[in-house]
Amino acid sequence: MDSEETMMMKPKQEKEKPSAGDELGLRENPSHTSDWAFRPEAVVWVHGEPVRANLHPVASQLYSWLRRKGDVTYFTEKMKSDPGMYTNPYAFDASTLARVFLDVVNETHAAGESHEDIEPHDMEVVRIRLTGELTLLSARLLEAVLRQMLFCTAFPKKSYENASLGQLMSTECRACKGGDGPAHHISLVASLGCRYGMCRQIDACVVSFLKLLNKQRAQAGAHASTPSIVDRPVAESRKMLAEDCFSLGEGLCHALQHVSEVEEAMILEIERHAADSQRRSLVILPSKSSPASTEMPDPPATS
């Protein structure tokens, strides 16, 4: 047998499967954090005067709601023109997703606890649909909450506007990209928390939630392109739906606990310094190579 034939008969080597971290856009090596400043749009301005932080406390409200301790405020398209309304576009995105999320959670709970007669296959369809909606909404909601916070910072918009959760946790440094050595990675999420001494807490809880979402996707897909309708008793489908809902809700609640702490710290810092419209001072943490800025950014130009 000649060498050419031998080469043709060699079995193809299977590609190495990505790890859970790779699927999420995360990497084994730890990501760095970066100092940041607030941008002028961190404040809602009315006639050149600072009114309030341009950051709606969605994470804080949703965290309280999941613990049955509060309500969630949402905004309609018509409210965008109201005087003093948030100009942060992600405030509307996050509040809308939060409102939809509440309805899906309530519908999921009702379906899981219901004793209504239903065909087994119909119940399986309900389980698959609601579990999928919860998984997708949880990811999109947390992305919108984090983007709303990042909008108030001087981080370039292109670094987060289309980024997935995994990319917000670990993105390649643009400054050293294309250099001789390997580019290091920056966590925008950890950078938000680092300013307030909470980088490890927020980083760990969001990573844990990402892994939970990835696990949920894998279980739902069962190594297929779409979930399968399985012949099982209605009671079993309802139990699985309730367990999936509880698992996702618990994971999101844990993530929101630390995200909301950073969100509240940002709002307090902005409003504390914006309240004195005469001084207009806003303390900006210094970078390692430049002095601190103590001046509030000028309001954005208006046409």
How do residues 122-132 score in pLDDT, each as one tens digit?
A: 999 999 999 98
| pLDDT score at 289 | 32
| pLDDT score at 273 | 74
pLDDT range class, residue 302, cuts 50, 70, 90: very low
Q: Quick one: tokens of 279?
A: 């001084």
Identify the three-state secondary structure at position 45.
strand
| pLDDT at position 299 over 60 | no
| pLDDT score at 203 | 79
| pLDDT score at 217 | 65
State CA 45 to chain mean position distance.
27
Rounded to the nearest 5 percent, the helix, strand and coil shares of the chain are 55, 5, 40
Of 15-24, 57-66, 172-181, 237-246, the range with the lowest mean pLDDT is: 15-24
CA distance 136 to 126: 15
Of all residues in the chain, the percent with pLDDT exceeding 90 is 37
pLDDT range class, residue 272, cuts 50, 70, 90: confident
| pLDDT score at 129 | 92
| pLDDT score at 237 | 92
Q: Quick one: tokens of 62?
A: 């949703």
| pLDDT score at 223 | 44
- Is residue 212 within 8 A of residue 248, CB to CB? The reply is yes
Identify the three-state secondary structure at position 6.
helix
Q: Where are the domains of the chain?
A: 31-274
Place of tokens 């979930």: 227
Pairing assessment for the beta strands 49-53 and 171-172 based on DSSP bridges? unpaired
| pLDDT score at 91 | 95
CA distance 217 to 178: 34
Mean pLDDT value across the chain: 78
Buried b (16+ CB within 10 A) or exposed e, 223-245: eeeebeeeeeebeebbebbbebb
More confident residue, 152 or 165: 152
Q: What is the mean pLDDT of residues 75-88?
A: 91
pLDDT range class, residue 180, cuts 50, 70, 90: low
More confident residue, 9 or 34: 34
More confident residue, 28 or 136: 136
Highest mean pLDDT among 7-11, 31-35, 279-283 belongs to: 31-35
pLDDT range class, residue 227, cuts 50, 70, 90: confident
| pLDDT score at 23 | 41
| pLDDT at position 181 over 70 | no
Q: What is the mean pLDDT of residues 201-207?
A: 82
